[in-house]
Amino acid sequence: MSIYYSQNSARAERKDYLALVKAGKVPGASLVVKDGYNADVDAAEDIVEQGAAYAGFPASGAAETLNIVSDSASDAAAGTGATSLLIKGLDANWEEVEITVAPNGTTPVITTQTFRRVNEVIVVGAGSGGANAGTITIKHNTTTTNIFAVITAGANKAQTATYTVPAGKWAAVVGAKATVNHATTIGRFAVAAREYGKAFINWAAGFASQAAPYKVNDDYALVFPAKTDIKLSALAVSAANLPVDGQLTLLVFPE
């Protein structure tokens, strides 16, 4: 018996499977898509809204409460900007947890829930403006250098191409992409991952120009255990001030 296989058919099957996971038709599996943006890559930086190296992956330290603050008074429960935020992350035991918080403008709001990591922040309620009016920052309340997310005005979500695998799960990076917005500048990118207690390692490195984005998709999946920190990184650029859009796509499964 002969079996016919083509790369095109494999890609079609992969897309079908991702669609099934997204629709909740694969028990235990979840699809995670993390969009990232860095408006000004000058050297080795991560694809996160706040720029530079991502500060939300402390190698040590305890879980802490979060400090949430905007630079606009309109981002408040009764304001015209963001009225509520959904924060998803990992608690002291690396277990998944999520909370909804009402910002209070330029006055910091301190959560009662503690977090080791923050995987997602989105605006789930807004006033007449329809979006967050100012830049909202989410960080640890004690170790304030641990900045997890920044939501720029009008974005309604944190654009950080980062993810930490929860306890009791494993994750496969099935897609990564970086697009540069400059006619002549090129960049070199990679999926960087640090398993718990180890160092960051760059995987699947490649180049991107305006005409040819960096992509990781159909060739293989990068598989990582629980507590692994994962991010999309720029390793180098040929010139400074490079705007970069990025994306990580992961499938997450129970162990």
Torsion over CA: 229, 231, 236, 242 (sign)? negative
Six-digit token string for 245? 């859009």
* Residue 98: exposure state from Cβ atoms within 10 A (0-12, 13-18, ≥19): exposed
Mean pLDDT to the nearest integer, 127-150: 98
Mean pLDDT to the nearest integer, 163-173: 97
Sequence-ordered strand ranges (E) for 15-133: 30-41, 45-46, 64-70, 82-90, 96-101, 109-115, 117-126
Residues in the chain: 255
Question: What's the confidence (pLDDT) of residue 6?
Answer: 39
Query: Are 85 and 77 within 8 A, CB to CB?
Result: no
Torsion over CA: 227, 100, 133, 146 (sign)? negative
Query: Are 151 and 132 within 8 A, CB to CB?
Result: yes
Six-digit token string for 223? 């598989």
What residues does 173 pair with on adjacent strands?
Answer: 222, 250
Q: Would the pLDDT of 1 be above 70?
A: no
pLDDT tens digits, one per residue of 213-253: 999 875 667 999 999 999 999 999 999 999 999 999 999 99
Q: Would the pLDDT of 172 be above 50?
A: yes
Mean pLDDT, the chain, rounded, equals: 92
pLDDT tens digits, one per residue of 56-81: 999 988 999 999 999 999 999 999 99
All structural domains of the chain: 26-48+162-254 (2.60.120.340), 64-151 (no CATH)
Q: Would the pLDDT of 7 be above 80?
A: no
Query: Are 163 and 192 within 8 A, CB to CB?
Result: no
Question: What's the confidence (pLDDT) of residue 28?
Answer: 84
Mean pLDDT to the nearest integer, 159-171: 98
Cα-Cα-Cα-Cα torsion 255, 253, 199, 157, nearest 10 degrees, comes to -140
Query: Are 139 and 147 within 8 A, CB to CB?
Result: yes
Bigger pLDDT: 37 vs 2: 37
Mean pLDDT to the nearest integer, 40-60: 95
Question: What's the confidence (pLDDT) of residue 17?
Answer: 78
| Amino acid identity, position 34 | K
pLDDT tens digits, one per residue of 24-38: 878 888 999 999 999
Query: Are 247 and 177 within 8 A, CB to CB?
Result: yes
Mean pLDDT to the nearest integer, 129-136: 98
Bigger pLDDT: 6 vs 49: 49
* Residue 93: exposure state from Cβ atoms within 10 A (0-12, 13-18, ≥19): exposed
User: Cα–chain-centroid distance for residue 238?
Assistant: 25
d(CA 98, CA 91): 9
Bigger pLDDT: 222 vs 100: 100
